[in-house]
Amino acid sequence: MMQARQTTLFGKGCPDPRMVGTLLHTIVNVLHDEKGPLAQDLRIRLLDNTDALARFIQQDLLQALQQAGKMNLAIFFNELSYDKRTLATTISAPILRYQQELAKTNTTVFTASERFQCKLISTKNTFAEHPDRGGYVCLIGEFDQIRLRHEQGQDPRKQQGIPAIIEFKKGLGGKKKAATSLPGLFAELTEEEEETNEVIQPTHAHAMQLMTYWLAFQTRWNKNAQYKEARGLLQEIPMSLCQPVELILYNLNDGCQYQLEPSDYREALMALIECIFYLNWAMKSGYAWQSPEHECRRAQLTELPAHAIQVQVGSMPITGQECYLLAKTAFDRFKETIRWKQITR
């Protein structure tokens, strides 16, 4: 294999954190992927034996990445391998920590890296006690990992337990400072970072991501039979606001996990649903649009007069500006409910 020793790859002496995060995600997926480059008996051994996993990272991971078709990551990993200390701190330590955590806890990895597409219908048949306004929003994304947490003494082989959606992050960012670009609904979630010694906590953006996954998860967990019976034509899927699902943010940088526990689960979900639909209507009206430089995290506003843009919400037309302001109000309600519990360190 050609060796590309590019000093610019690591910038100011540090590997690109986004590339490191993607590489860590990929390694976790390779360790669980039944259709991946590793045989089942090898995957079981690597997840059970720390020494075997450490040797695999040093000697065989590069080939596994190549076999999986991850050529850019293979080149990046090859660059990291030239500096044993960097490799140990950025890749080996997080992956070994992940393996040890998984071995100690009574959990089963149900699925890893599964993409989803979910259509949310805004009617009273989908969400109990929700105004029937019509319209829908299509959610597209990818679950990093879904686990089953088993009670002490329960047999993991029975595939029964409390499902948990795990979202992996490579660090949680830094302290925020004010942005200078146009204001948006999620402006505070996309501000630039500055170095800080303060303890970093998950943000409202992390909470919103996890709870959006919770909505999509229902169509994968207990609605598959209905989908098959309707041959994929099922339009409205009733959402149970009381379904037990653990929402966990896993910081691969230090192995710390944070469980999302809203002060009022129902209020958090209803506020999130309102925010999603109102912002979607505002965007469909042309009053707001996605800002590509912020990876669709925030919405920018049109320069057209607010009263000139209207959108049909249920049986009544309202302005795009009203939709946007209602989305902001719902988002503020959502933020008030957010509580995080650190469950591992």
What type of residue is 180? T
Neighbouring C-alpha atoms within 13 Å toward the C-beta of 276: 21
What type of residue is 176? K
Pairing between strand 162-169 and 246-251?
Answer: parallel
Residue 87 pLDDT: 93
The beta-strand segments (E) located in the chain are: 107-121, 136-149, 162-169, 175-176, 193-194, 246-251, 257-260, 288-290, 299-301, 310-313, 316-319, 340-344
Could you tell me how many residues make up the chain?
Answer: 345
Residue 215 pLDDT: 86
Please name which of 215, 207, 200 lies closest in space to residue 251, comparing C-alpha atoms: 200
The strand order across the sheet containing 246-251 reads 107-121, 136-149, 162-169, 246-251, 257-260, 340-344
Other Cβ atoms less than 10 A from the Cβ of 153: the count is 6
**pLDDT per residue as tens, the chain (345 positions):** 444 444 445 555 678 888 999 999 999 999 999 889 999 999 999 999 999 999 999 999 999 999 999 999 999 999 999 999 999 999 999 999 999 988 888 778 888 888 888 778 877 777 777 777 777 888 888 899 999 876 655 555 555 678 899 999 987 755 444 444 444 555 555 444 444 445 578 999 899 999 999 988 876 665 556 656 655 555 667 777 777 889 999 999 888 999 999 999 889 988 998 898 888 888 777 766 665 554 444 556 555 555 656 777 767 778 878 888 888 999 999 999 999 999 876
| Separation between Cα atoms, residue 134 and residue 126, nearest integer Å | 10
